[in-house]
Chain A
Amino acid sequence: MIAAALLLAACVAARADEADADGQFTAAIETARARVVKIYGPRGGREAGYGSGVIISPDGRILTVLSTMLEDDAPRVVLDDGRRFFAAVIARDTRRQLALLKIEARDLPHFTLGSSAHLQPGDWVVSAANPFKVADGPEAVSTAVGVFSGRAPLAARRRKQDYPYDGAVLLVDVLVSTPGSAGGALVDVSGNLVGILGKQVTSTRTNTWLNYAMPVEEAAAFVANPQAEDDVAGALPTSLPSVTADIGILLFNVGGRQRPAYVERVRAGSPAAQAGVATDDLLLSVAGQPIATCEDYLEIVKRLRPGQEVELLVKRGDEVIPLKLRVGARSP
């Protein structure tokens, strides 16, 4: 009788697992597909003339990558429900190769530009985009599932002069380096936007196509301050509410290629001040990530979320001191 019972239990469990395994990504995919648009414009050179974008505000702001398809007066945008719009290009960012579009619409489902800091190598990620313009009109864009592999700058990329962004990107094992995928969404399993699928880039070392996404923090920085970048095509009507992680540390940042992360100043009342960080401390690690240079620190802080608890390791004299703080928020 026990055997029978166990068998029955196993069967029930197996069915539940099957449903779970098949439905694991359903919510994230549905969220992502509703917020990704198809974009069409002129083709040119190696660029396809079609691509993807993500909706980032209810009134129709769309983030995508720079491409010849935006050279038109009014690139065409098709929403998930099949509605068609002409878009205005309102800002361009040649460094990150991003562009901000605007369509005249209301109450659109949209992504919030949050953080990718929580992604750990091995985490599931889901892509949503329109490679090879497989989806037409109201047809749903393509999705794929893979894992987040890590963060790294695209040091060995071809045609650096056309793509000056030197910061870290999110590397994934999802095949997203396909015509039309750039500008699409990379989301985590909860459907949060963690990156914008990047332009097609090949490696000078291995000749392979790199599968990566621009971290959502970079996209947020562009959207928050589009005029700061060159080639601004028009004024942004209003600035999106955007918050940046803040600890309250200013580093001693003078010339030299490898600048160790010495604290120059701690803002009074800031999380760093409350945690006891002092001037002249050397930052060794933040949130478990080792820091060798000022650049390392800036990269890590960008990925922190306001409210997140992090551990700092500082060297003061000959002493190594662990400190804890809660990340603050600051409007840019």
Chain B
Amino acid sequence: MVLRSSLIALVLAAAAPAGDDALDRVRADQARRVEVFERAARSVICIFADPSRSGGGSGVVITPDGYGLTNFHVVAEFVQSRRGYGGLSDGRLYPLRLIGIDPGGDIALVKLEGRERFEAAPLGDSDRLRVGQWVAAMGNPFIVAEDFYPTITLGVISGLHRYQPGQGNLLEYADCIQVSTSINPGNSGGPLFDGLGRVIGINGRGSFEERGRVNVGLGYAVSINQVKRFLPGLMAGRLLEHGTLGATVRQVGEALVFDVVQELSAAERAGVQLGDRLLEIDGRPMRTANDVNNAIAILPSEWPVVLRYQRGNEQFERAARLDRLPLGQPMIYAVDKPRNRREVARLLEACRRRLAATLPLEAGGRLRVILGEQVETREIRLRQVAATSLRVLEGADTLEIEPAADWTPAPALPAGAAPAETLWREWQAITGPLLAAIEIDEKWEWIGGDQVGGRIACVVERRFATGRIRWKLDWETSQLLQITVGDERDPHAATWSLTAGREGGWPRTWTRAGPDAAQFVIELAEGGG
């Protein structure tokens, strides 16, 4: 019934006289735009270095607890003190702290203080933009806003995938968004919104040349998808570096040919040799040197990339992690440890809250061990014995998963010993911290970000005397995606990949893959009791 009457409403709307309808639509469009921009404007920050309102740039709040994005060149003035001020559309000036910086990509993360909750703008998806679509820039150009209500300028996307070089590995705008929207001094760091009020970029640059520093119709914004890859590292409170392949290409006719491949570089680790032809990076076709810059300069150091290249008639597709691209000028930026610890605790709590809903595991579990060619399957039973522990019933043996405070990563699979038991203990250790009662101590640190299965992850680490465990949690949902044990340089390092259950609770399948080619799978089956 509801459906039918709504269809009638639509038909009626379509049948209305054309002239009035067109005008009504313009009015409705305008009313909606005003409403969207009014809401968006509440997230826009006017940033100052001190309360006398010197300096001056813009920013945007992206979380209700006050984290905000801006340009690095806006906060460069107070990198030492890490303290500045942010005015919001309510007319009030709030103190803000500088949290993390990405000088290479001209991005900084700040945190506003002095209010319980802030109006945050949602982040959009800048890979889905189209040239010609309407976009609005908001900020404080020429520092005109006495009441901090942002100036709104409207225009269209003029170009995508633009490359604007930086200086000394600083302030490089790769794969950026070009807009006809007015971007003037003071707009720097402010948000570029799409028509629905989602942040799709951070405005920071324009083409000016001989015209003085005034808009002449070409502004550039760092794409929000680039920023998203740096956000976990910025949240960790770090100075971030961009990645590099450690190789360069030269245009030879239609082809891009590797003409420098540094020893031990990411490119070399991916198997690239001098003279190989580069075809694709992360599935993006490579035609020009700008294409390569656009694909690499948007990634943090150590980020995974997939290269496709050709040697003779043979094509290769190899993955590698990027090398660090050092900043042209050295910069010292220490992590604020107490803040980092608070954020780790918050993140892990969020992760555990997600899991808590699916405990107790009434499941009967099946443990399947695969070691090389040998497959050994054992039936086990898991059941919860208390809020803080799981008990594993295996035949007559009873194993209880305990806190893993003093666990040492297995140095190697002990020869002769049942390898399954060793791995079983490793699993206990890495799952231990998932249990609510285990305290997140100071040995945990938020160290940065990574990409796991196409998702952006926060990486938190717990160090031991002999090694480390890294957890990778989904940036948006705090879901546990992957656990690595040991160091990349450690021959016994291993990665546990997790497959979530249907409701995204306790991971159902745990697969351990290490360089020793041993696979270890734990499947938690439902029911069975």
**Chain A interface (Cβ < 8 Å from any Cβ of B):** 1-2, 4-6, 8-9, 12-14, 17-18, 21-26, 28-29, 33, 82, 126, 131-132, 134-146, 174-179, 209
Interface string of B215-226 (1 = CB under 8 A from A): 111100000000
Q: How far is the CA of A144 from the CA of B29 in the complex (A)?
A: 20
Q: A22-B195, A142-B218 are in contact. Are A135 and B134 (CB under 8 A)?
A: no
Are A140 and B130 interface neighbours, CB within 8 A? no
Residues of B113-166 contacting chain A, CB below 8 A: 130-134, 155-156, 158-163
Q: How far is the CA of A21 from the CA of B132 in the complex (A)?
A: 10
Q: Of A5, A33, A82, A178, which is within 8 A of B217 by CB?
A: A178
Are A9 and B6 interface neighbours, CB within 8 A? yes
Are B5 and A5 interface neighbours, CB within 8 A? yes
Are A143 and B217 interface neighbours, CB within 8 A? no
Are B1 and A1 interface neighbours, CB within 8 A? yes
The 10 closest A-B pairs by CB, nearest first: A175-B217, A144-B180, A9-B9, A25-B132, A5-B5, A5-B6, A22-B133, A8-B6, A132-B207, A142-B158
Residues of B1-16 contacting chain A, CB below 8 A: 1-2, 5-6, 8-10, 13
Q: A9-B13, A134-B207, A179-B209 are in contact. Are A4 and B162 (CB under 8 A)?
A: no
Are B132 and A132 interface neighbours, CB within 8 A? no
Are A17 and B29 interface neighbours, CB within 8 A? yes
Are B132 and A174 interface neighbours, CB within 8 A? no
Are B159 and A142 interface neighbours, CB within 8 A? yes
Q: Jot down 27 A-B pairs with beta carbons below 8 A, ordered by A.
A: A1-B1, A1-B2, A1-B5, A4-B6, A5-B9, A8-B6, A9-B10, A13-B13, A14-B32, A18-B195, A25-B132, A26-B130, A26-B131, A29-B132, A82-B288, A134-B159, A135-B159, A135-B162, A137-B287, A138-B287, A142-B178, A145-B155, A146-B180, A175-B215, A175-B216, A177-B216, A178-B207
Q: How far is the CA of A9 from the CA of B12 in the complex (A)?
A: 10
Q: How far is the CA of A135 from the CA of B287 in the complex (A)?
A: 14
Which among B2, B134, B159 has the highest number of chain A CB atoms within 10 Å? B159
Q: How far is the CA of A174 from the CA of B180 in the complex (A)?
A: 9
Which A residue sits closest to B220, measured CB to CB?
A: A134
Neighbouring B residues of A145 by C-beta, 8 Å: 132, 155-156, 180
Interface residue count on the B side (C-beta < 8 Å): 40
Q: Does B290 contact A (CB under 8 A)?
A: yes
Neighbouring A residues of B28 by C-beta, 8 Å: 17
Which B residue sits closest to A133, measured CB to CB?
A: B207
Interface string of B178-205 (1 = CB under 8 A from A): 1010000000000000011000000000
**Chain B interface (Cβ < 8 Å from any Cβ of A):** 1-2, 5-6, 8-10, 13, 25, 28-29, 32, 130-134, 155-156, 158-163, 178, 180, 195-196, 207, 209-211, 215-218, 287-288, 290
Q: How far is the CA of A13 from the CA of B155 in the complex (A)?
A: 23
Are A18 and B196 interface neighbours, CB within 8 A? yes
Which among B13, B156, B290 has the highest number of chain A CB atoms within 10 Å? B156
Q: How far is the CA of A135 from the CA of B207 in the complex (A)?
A: 13
Are A21 and B29 interface neighbours, CB within 8 A? yes
Are A137 and B290 interface neighbours, CB within 8 A? yes
Neighbouring A residues of B163 by C-beta, 8 Å: 136
Neighbouring B residues of A175 by C-beta, 8 Å: 180, 215-217
Are B178 and A12 interface neighbours, CB within 8 A? no
Which among B1, B132, B134, B178 has the highest number of chain A CB atoms within 10 Å? B132
Are B9 and A26 interface neighbours, CB within 8 A? no
Which among B6, B178, B290 has the highest number of chain A CB atoms within 10 Å? B6
Q: How far is the CA of A232 from the CA of B64 in the complex (A)?
A: 67
Q: A13-B13, A21-B29, A142-B158 are in contact. Are A131 and B217 (CB under 8 A)?
A: yes
Q: Of A26, A28, A136, which is within 8 A of B288 by CB?
A: A136
Neighbouring B residues of A135 by C-beta, 8 Å: 159, 162
Neighbouring B residues of A24 by C-beta, 8 Å: 132
Q: How far is the CA of A18 from the CA of B162 in the complex (A)?
A: 25
Which B residue sits closest to A135, measured CB to CB?
A: B159
Q: Of A8, A28, A29, A132, which is within 8 A of B2 by CB?
A: A8
Neighbouring B residues of A21 by C-beta, 8 Å: 29, 134, 195
Q: A9-B13, A132-B218, A134-B207 are in contact. Are A143 and B159 (CB under 8 A)?
A: yes
Q: Of B2, B10, B156, which is within 8 A of A144 by CB?
A: B156
| Shortest beta-carbon distance from A34 to chain B in Å | 13
Q: How far is the CA of A9 from the CA of B10 in the complex (A)?
A: 6
Which B residue sits closest to A145, measured CB to CB?
A: B156
Are A6 and B287 interface neighbours, CB within 8 A? no
Neighbouring A residues of B132 by C-beta, 8 Å: 22-26, 28-29, 126, 143, 145
Neighbouring A residues of B159 by C-beta, 8 Å: 134-135, 139-143
Q: How far is the CA of A126 from the CA of B162 in the complex (A)?
A: 20
Q: How far is the CA of A138 from the CA of B287 in the complex (A)?
A: 8
Neighbouring A residues of B180 by C-beta, 8 Å: 143-146, 174-175
Are B131 and A131 interface neighbours, CB within 8 A? no
Are A139 and B290 interface neighbours, CB within 8 A? yes
Q: How far is the CA of A28 from the CA of B130 in the complex (A)?
A: 13
Q: How far is the CA of A198 from the CA of B132 in the complex (A)?
A: 22
Neighbouring B residues of A209 by C-beta, 8 Å: 211, 216
Which among A22, A28, A141, A145 has the highest number of chain B CB atoms within 10 Å? A22
| Shortest beta-carbon distance from B97 to chain A in Å | 36
Q: A1-B5, A22-B130, A178-B217 are in contact. Are A13 and B178 (CB under 8 A)?
A: no
Q: How far is the CA of A138 from the CA of B289 in the complex (A)?
A: 11
| Shortest beta-carbon distance from B205 to chain A in Å | 12
User: Other than the known A1-B2, A9-B6, what 6 A-B pairs have Cβ atoms closer than 8 Å?
Assistant: A1-B1, A5-B9, A26-B132, A82-B287, A142-B178, A174-B217
